[in-house]
């Protein structure tokens, strides 16, 4: 029997009961004003979460990966040059997708645990005097390593070089959980999905396009059909999709956006930060280190925790599942077996987070790690308790 323990994976995240119910709705005519009453609040709400006045929002029946493909195929042509940093599994997969689409990627290899190297970007962009580079990729929050990159610094690198390349940002595990400033950062395409900060099941790929990115669709040569944003825009104008929309999920998204606005976007970010700080204090009480190399890189939506040399971190995840029915994230790619991940985004509260920390402690003690029961929980409690604020 599945328990109702929360999950602590960095997506899909826990679903508020009201959102679950909103997804479960009777069939409606998806080419009618009834659907428009779901569609348009979703588009407007996502735009506000992105802190944008004018971004063109598109919602596909897809996931974040489909959002990457939407970004690339609508704006670029085969052979176009792209600049990207590889600092974790998600940035790696986006680079791989570029290559499979015939794009030429200049990859800046970056140690896992570090952020997007804006200074290297600046050097490369300055050297590209012919403006051959068409787009710069940045993964705002590397979910594999728990590293948040400074997108302002990437924008500054582009501006310092006077370079016209578009800026594409993967915000799949940050948007709706951490501050994201589409307009201020001069983002051209932002990508996210439904199953992380928006607390929904997987199934929606969500993107924001700038006017410049929309302009680029006119000359972009990569083939696209399902993910064509102009077909989508035509559909939206008639309260429809070019095909059948996932109405229930979008009804859930509408409610999710209302809940985020009711709590207040800044309060949502502050809650994520507070919960994350408690996790970080627990990690340090356990005597362990984060994969993220320095505090400015710490992610407020996921922590990747290094385990001692010679210990297989994946054991923590499998034992938590088999003995305590609780889900944590495994290490991916280069850090597989070296880290386990605690996802702390979405509908979590301080109290729920304490249950995750308490369970992680039991698992680590079971496995013989030198961790004292209650140590991390107490550190987080001291931080979360109201007397201290």
| Residue where the block lists tokens 């970010």 | 269
Torsion of CA 233, 234, 237, 243, to 10 degrees: -90
Residue 299 within binding range of ligand PLP, rule CB under 6 A: no
The region of 57-65, 148-156, 259-267, 364-372 touching ligand PLP under the rule CB under 6 A is 57-65
- State how far the Cα of 324 lies from the Cα of 182, in Å rounded to an integer: 40
The region of 139-147, 247-255, 320-328, 340-348 touching ligand PLP under the rule CB under 6 A is 139-147
Question: Which tokens hold the place of 51?
Answer: 């802190």
Residue 141 or 303: which CB sits closer to ligand PLP? 141
Torsion of CA 63, 64, 67, 69, to 10 degrees: -90
Minimum Å gap between C-beta 367 and ligand PLP is: 27
Helix then strand then coil, in percent of the chain rounded to 5, is 45, 15, 40
Minimum Å gap between C-beta 177 and ligand PLP is: 11
- The beta-carbon contacts of 123-131 under 8 Å, at least 24 apart in sequence, are 124/83, 125/83, 125/157, 125/158, 125/160, 125/161, 125/163, 125/165, 126/160, 126/161, 126/163, 128/161, 128/163, 131/163, 131/164, 131/165
Which one of 72, 116, 157, 172 is in contact with ligand PLP (CB under 6 A)?
172
Residue 331 within binding range of ligand PLP, rule CB under 6 A: no
What letter would DSSP give residue 133?
E
| Residue where the block lists tokens 């300055």 | 126
Residue 139 within binding range of ligand PLP, rule CB under 6 A: yes
Residues from 81 through 120 that contact ligand PLP (CB under 6 A): 90
Residue 168 or 236: which CB sits closer to ligand PLP? 168
Which one of 173, 251, 256, 299 is in contact with ligand PLP (CB under 6 A)?
173
Residue 110 or 173: which CB sits closer to ligand PLP? 173
Minimum Å gap between C-beta 147 and ligand PLP is: 10
- State how far the Cα of 175 lies from the Cα of 204, in Å rounded to an integer: 14
Minimum Å gap between C-beta 94 and ligand PLP is: 7
Minimum Å gap between C-beta 314 and ligand PLP is: 19
Question: Binding-site residue total for ligand PLP (CB under 6 A)?
Answer: 13
- State how far the Cα of 89 lies from the Cα of 257, in Å rounded to an integer: 28
Minimum Å gap between C-beta 388 and ligand PLP is: 32
- State how far the Cα of 233 lies from the Cα of 295, in Å rounded to an integer: 41
Minimum Å gap between C-beta 198 and ligand PLP is: 11
| Helix, strand, or coil (residue 134) | strand
- State how far the Cα of 69 lies from the Cα of 94, in Å rounded to an integer: 9
Which one of 143, 177, 299, 303 is in contact with ligand PLP (CB under 6 A)?
143
Please list, in sequence order, all residues whose beta carbon lies within 8 angstroms of the beta carbon of residue 1, skipping any fewer than 6 positions away. none
Residue 193 within binding range of ligand PLP, rule CB under 6 A: yes
Minimum Å gap between C-beta 101 and ligand PLP is: 16
Residues from 58 through 77 that contact ligand PLP (CB under 6 A): 63-65
If phi > 0 it is left, if psi is from -120 to 50 it is alpha, else beta; for residue 111 that is: beta
Minimum Å gap between C-beta 305 and ligand PLP is: 17
The region of 123-131, 167-175, 182-190, 266-274 touching ligand PLP under the rule CB under 6 A is 167-175
If phi > 0 it is left, if psi is from -120 to 50 it is alpha, else beta; for residue 96 that is: alpha
Residue 170 or 300: which CB sits closer to ligand PLP? 170
Which one of 6, 11, 208, 246 is in contact with ligand PLP (CB under 6 A)?
11
Binding stretches for ligand PLP (CB under 6 A): 11, 63-65, 90, 139, 141, 143, 170, 172-173, 193, 202
């Amino acid at each position: 029997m599945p328990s109702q323990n929360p999950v602590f994976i960095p997506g899909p995240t826990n679903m508020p009961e009201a959102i679950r119910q909103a997804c479960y709705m009777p069939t409606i005519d998806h080419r009618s004003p009834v659907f428009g009453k779901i569609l348009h609040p979703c588009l407007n709400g996502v735009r506000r979460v992105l802190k944008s006045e004018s971004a063109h929002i598109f919602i596909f029946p897809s996931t974040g990966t489909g959002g990457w493909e939407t970004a690339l195929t609508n704006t670029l042509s085969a052979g176009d040059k792209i600049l990207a940093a590889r600092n974790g599994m998600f940035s790696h997969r986006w680079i791989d997708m570029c290559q499979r689409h015939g794009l030429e990627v200049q990859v800046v290899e970056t140690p896992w645990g570090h952020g997007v190297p804006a200074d290297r970007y600046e050097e490369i962009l300055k050297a590209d005097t012919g403006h051959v580079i068409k787009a710069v990729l940045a993964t705002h929050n590397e979910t594999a390593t728990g590293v948040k990159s400074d997108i302002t610094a990437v924008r500054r690198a582009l501006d310092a070089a006077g370079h016209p390349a578009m800026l594409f940002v993967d915000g799949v595990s940050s948007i709706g959980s951490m501050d994201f400033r589409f307009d201020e950062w001069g983002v051209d395409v932002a990508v996210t999905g439904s199953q992380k900060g928006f607390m929904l099941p997987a199934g929606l790929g969500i993107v924001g396009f700038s006017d410049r990115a929309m302009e680029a669709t006119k000359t972009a040569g990569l083939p696209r059909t399902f993910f064509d944003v102009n077909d989508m825009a035509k559909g939206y104008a008639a309260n429809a999709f070019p095909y059948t929309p996932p109405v229930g999920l979008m009804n859930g998204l509408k409610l999710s956006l209302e809940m985020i606005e009711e709590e207040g976007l800044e309060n949502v970010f502050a809650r994520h930060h507070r919960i994350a700080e408690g996790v970080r204090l627990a990690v340090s009480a356990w005597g362990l280190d984060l994969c993220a190399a320095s505090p400015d890189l710490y992610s407020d939506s996921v922590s990747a925790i290094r385990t001692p040399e010679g210990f297989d971190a994946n054991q923590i995840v499998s034992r938590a599942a088999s003995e305590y029915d609780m889900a944590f994230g495994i290490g991916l790619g280069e850090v597989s077996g070296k880290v386990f991940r605690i996802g702390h985004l979405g509908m979590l509260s301080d109290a729920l987070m304490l249950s995750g920390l308490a369970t992680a402690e039991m698992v680590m003690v079971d496995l013989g790690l030198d961790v004292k029961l209650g140590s991390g929980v107490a550190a987080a409690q001291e931080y979360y308790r109201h007397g201290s604020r």
